[in-house]
A = this chain, B = another copy of it.
Amino acid sequence: MFLSLASVISLVAVIIPAAHCGKVLVFPHDGSHWVNMRVLVEELHSRGHTVTVIRPADSWYISDTSPHYNAVTVDMDGGADEDFFRRFVSEVIRIRRSKGSAWTRFALDMELKDKFFELHKKICEMVIHLFENKDLMNSIQDAKYDVVLTDPANGGGVMLAHYLRLPLVFNARWTVHGEAHFAIAPSPLSYVPLPPSELSDKMTFFERVKNIVFYTMRMHLYKQIVGPHYSALASRYFGPDVDYFSLFQAADMWLMRVDFVFEFPRPTMPNVVYMGGFQCKPAKPLPEHLEEFVQSSGEHGVIIMSLGTLIGELPHDLADEIAAAFAKLPQKVIWRYKGERPATLGNNTLLVDWMPQNDLLGHPHMKLFVSHGGTNGIYEAIYHGVPIVGIPIVFDQADNLSRLRAKGVAKVMDISELDSKTFQDAIQDVLNEPSYRLNMQRLSRLHRDQPMKPLDTALFWIEFVMRHKGAAHLRTESYRLPWYSYHSVDVVLFLVGAVLLVLFTFFFVIRCLCTKMCRSKVKRD
C-alpha cells in the first residue's frame, strides 16, 4: 500500500491544527477574477472564518449581500466597466473577422490600454476614499483582522495590508505588472515565455528575441501607465521612500492559480503555493432534460461549447458557420449561446443560456469541449480529461491554449480563419486522433495525483499565515537590493577593475624595470 492506515492517522493528526477561527479581509479584483476569489471566500466561510469583502458601489460581479461574507461597499466607481469589456470583445472579433488593418487593431489596443489606465486610477481613488473615511478605517482596525487576502491584478489590497500592518496573501495569476511569477521568482527569459507572446518553453533564437522585446515593452508599459497611480498612493500614505513594487514583493504568500500539468515548468519561490484547479470538483448529476439530451447521443457522445461569460453572442455569419459545422456531426452538441438562433442550426444542437459546465465535462458521454481558453474552463477540462478545440479571442486566452497545444491536448483555431469547413475539420481531428484524449487523460491523472487537494492546500496556507502572523521565513528580501546589486553588476565591475589594476601595475613595474635596465646598460656601455 502507498500509505499505511497508521500513517494516514498520523497524517490527519498533523493536518488538523487546534481549532481557530480567523478574520479575513478580502480586497478582490472585479470581473472573472472574482469567480476564483469567491471559491476561497466560500471555503473560508465554511471552515468558520469571518470574511469581509471590500467592493466598489458599482461592482460588476461582487454582490453586496452574501451568506458567505460581509460586504464593505466603498461609495465609488470601481472602474471595471462591464459594457466596455463586452463591446471591446465584440470589436476584437469584428476586426479580426474583417481582417481589419493593423492601424484599426492598434487603435483598439490603445483603447484597452486607456481603459486599464482608468481602471487602476479608479482603484487608487477607491483606496483613497477608504483611507480617508476615518470611521470606516477605525472600525476595520477595531475588527482586528488576521490577514488581507487579495488578487494582485490590482494593487488595492497591497496598500490596505500595508496601511493596516497585516500579513498579505495573494490569490494570484496576474499582477499589475504581468504574469505573477515574474514579480518574485528569477525567470530566465530564455525558457520562461512571457504572455501574451504565445511562446512555449522551447524557443528558437528569434522567439527568444521576441520574448525579451515583449518583456522590455511590458515593463515600460507598466512603468508608464499603471505604476504612477500606485506609486503616488504609496508616497502619499507611506512616505516618499516606500516603493510600491517592494510592498508587492513583500507579500507573505502567493497562492498561484497554476498547476504544472498546464503551465510550463519554471523557477519558483518557497512562498509560492500552487493551487491550479482549486475550483474543480466531481460532476453532479445533470438536470433531467440535459441528461435525456446527453443520453440520446448514444455511442457518438456529446460536445459542449462555451466562450465564457463575456462572449454570449457572435456576429451572425460566424454563428452560422459554427452551427453549420455542428449540424454535420453525428455527436449531440450543447452550445451556450445568447444570440439569435443561427439559420444553419442542426437538430443535434441545443442552445442554452447557461449550462452546468463542470457537470457536463464530467459526464461519461463527454467527447470534446469547444472553449475560448479561459483558465477556469481549462482546469475543469483537465480535471475531467476532456480534449479541447480552442477559439481564443482576447487577454490570456491564446497563451492558455498555446500551453494546451504544446501538451498535445488541444487544437487551436484562429477566429479570422474560422468557417464551417475548418471548424468541422478541427473538431473531427480531435475526435478521431486518440492522442488528444489520451494525453488529456494523462494530464488529468497527474493533476489529480497530489498530496492534498489544491483547495485544501490553499486553505492550509491562508490559515498558516493567520496562525503565525505571516510567513517571513519563506520570503526572500532580495527585492530590497538595487538592481545592479541583485544582478551582481557592481561586484563583477569591481572584480574586473581589480584584475585590470593588478595587470596594469604588473606591466607598469615591468616597464619601469626594463627602462631602468636599459638605462644602466646604456650607462655601462
A453 at interface (Cβ–Cβ under 8 A)? Answer: yes
Interface positions, chain A 1-49, Cβ under 8 Å from B, are 1-4, 7-8, 10-12, 14-17, 19-21, 46-48
A487 CB within 8 Å of chain B: yes
List the B side residues contacting A265 at CB < 8 Å.
269-271, 473-476
CB interface residues, A 423-463, toward B, < 8 Å: 445-446, 448-453, 456-457, 459-460, 463
A-B contact pairs, 24 of them (CB 8 A): A1-B21, A2-B17, A2-B459, A2-B463, A3-B459, A4-B47, A7-B47, A8-B12, A12-B12, A14-B453, A185-B267, A188-B487, A190-B486, A202-B477, A205-B485, A260-B270, A260-B474, A264-B476, A265-B269, A265-B475, A267-B267, A445-B468, A446-B468, A451-B451
Which of A286-294, A313-321, A364-372, A489-497 forms contacts with chain B?
Answer: A489-497
- How distant is the Cα of A445 from the Cα of B464 in the complex, in angstroms? 11
Look across to chain B and name the residue whose beta carbon is closest to the beta carbon of A490. Answer: B205
Q: Which residues of A are in contact with B by a Cβ distance under 8 Å?
A: 1-4, 7-8, 10-12, 14-17, 19-21, 46-48, 185-186, 188-191, 201-202, 205, 208-209, 212-213, 260-261, 264-271, 274, 445-446, 448-453, 456-457, 459-460, 463-464, 467-468, 473-478, 481, 485-488, 490-492, 494-495
- The CA-CA distance from A7 to B491 in the complex, in Å, is 52
Q: Which residues of B contact A449 (CB under 8 A)?
A: 17, 464, 467-468
Q: How far is the CB of A390 from chain B (nearest CB, A)?
A: 20
Q: How many copies does the complex hold?
A: 2
Complex CA distance for A241 and B209, rounded to whole angstroms: 27
Q: Given the interface contacts A3-B47, A267-B267, A488-B208, does A473 sit within 8 Å of B190 by beta carbon?
A: no
Q: Decide: B468 and A208 in contact? CB cutoff 8 A.
A: no
Q: Name the one of B46, B185, B468 contacting A4, with C-beta atoms under 8 angstroms.
A: B46
Q: Please name the 4 residue pairs, one residue from A and one from B, whose CB atoms are nearest each other, closest first.
A: A186-B186, A191-B478, A1-B19, A265-B476
Nearest residue, chain B, Cβ from A5: B16
Query: Are B20 and A16 touching (Cβ within 8 A)?
Result: no
Q: CB distance A190 to B14 under 8 Å?
A: no
Please, how many angstroms separate the alpha-carbon atoms of A460 and B8 in the complex?
12
For A464, A477, A488, the residue with the greatest tally of chain B CB atoms inside 10 Å of its CB is A488
Cβ contacts under 8 Å, A11 to chain B: 12, 15, 452-453, 456
Contact flag A488-B189 (CB < 8 Å), given A4-B46, A10-B453, A11-B452: yes
Give A469 Cβ to nearest chain B Cβ, in Å. Answer: 11
Q: Point out the residues of chain B lying under 8 angstroms from A208, CB to CB.
A: 485, 488, 490-491
Residue among A11, A268, A476, A490 having the largest count of chain B Cβ atoms under 10 Å: A11
List B contacts of A264 (CB < 8 A).
Answer: 476
Q: Is the CB of A190 within 8 A of B478?
A: yes
Residues on B with beta carbons closer than 8 Å to the beta carbon of A450: 14
B-chain residues with CB within 8 Å of residue A270 when the two chains form the complex: 260, 265-266, 268, 274
Nearest Cβ distance between residue A152 and chain B, in whole angstroms? 19
Are B446 and A451 in contact, with the CB atoms below 8 A?
no
A269 cross-chain contacts in B, Cβ below 8 A? 265, 267-268
- For A15, the chain B residues whose CB sits under 8 A away are 3, 8, 11, 451-452
Nearest residue, chain B, Cβ from A443: B473
Nearest chain B CB to A373 CB, angstrom units: 19
For A14, give its contact among B20, B188, B452, B464 (CB under 8 Å).
Answer: B452
A468: shortest Cβ distance to chain B, in Å? 6
Contact B488–A212 (Cβ < 8 Å): yes
The listed residue (B20, B188, B266, B491) touching A2 by CB distance below 8 A is B20
Are B16 and A487 closer than 8 Å at their CB atoms? no
* Distance in Å: Cβ of A302 to nearest Cβ of chain B: 28
Q: CA–CA, A521 to B10, complex, Å?
A: 94
How far is it, in angstroms, between the C-alpha of A302 and the C-alpha of B16 when the chains are bound? Answer: 32
Shortest distance in angstroms between A378's beta carbon and chain B's nearest beta carbon?
A: 15
What's the least CB distance linking A307 to chain B, in Å? 28
